Amino acid sequence: MQTFFPILRYNDARGAIRSLCATFGFVKVFSVPGSGRIVRHAQLKLGTNVLMLGSARPDELMASPQMLGAATQALYVYIDGPRRAFRTGAFRGRGDYKPDQRHRLWFTRIPRP
């Protein structure tokens, strides 16, 4: 049972949802739209784990890393078959990727959508 639920904020939450689903295989459980391009709340699932995210909004006390000009959040996501994902192009155009010293885990930095 998951007891820790990350909550992330993005300037372009819809773009982040598309990138996370395409790159890592997250599945969108639901998304609550706000006015314009705002996502009030969304939940993505990877296996049994849930990630919550939404748009950075002026009515909240949470900001996105882009608004602050610094990385303020990070995810370390384990996926089965990272080499296969790399060979099939799942990471292509989505930032930096490289195997760790054991050639099992990968790091990717998803650029701003």
Condensed to tens digits (0 to 9), the pLDDT of residues 5-61 reads 889 988 899 988 988 888 788 999 999 998 888 999 999 999 899 999 999 888 888
Give the confidence band of 106 by pLDDT, cuts at 50, 70, 90.
very low
- CA 26 from centroid of its chain's CA atoms: 8
Cα–Cα dist 51/4, whole Å: 9
Cα–Cα dist 78/25, whole Å: 11
Reported as half-sphere exposure (CB side, CA atoms, 13 A), residue 2 has a value of 11
- What's the chain's Rg over C-alpha atoms? 15
Q: What secondary structure letter does DSSP report for 106?
A: B
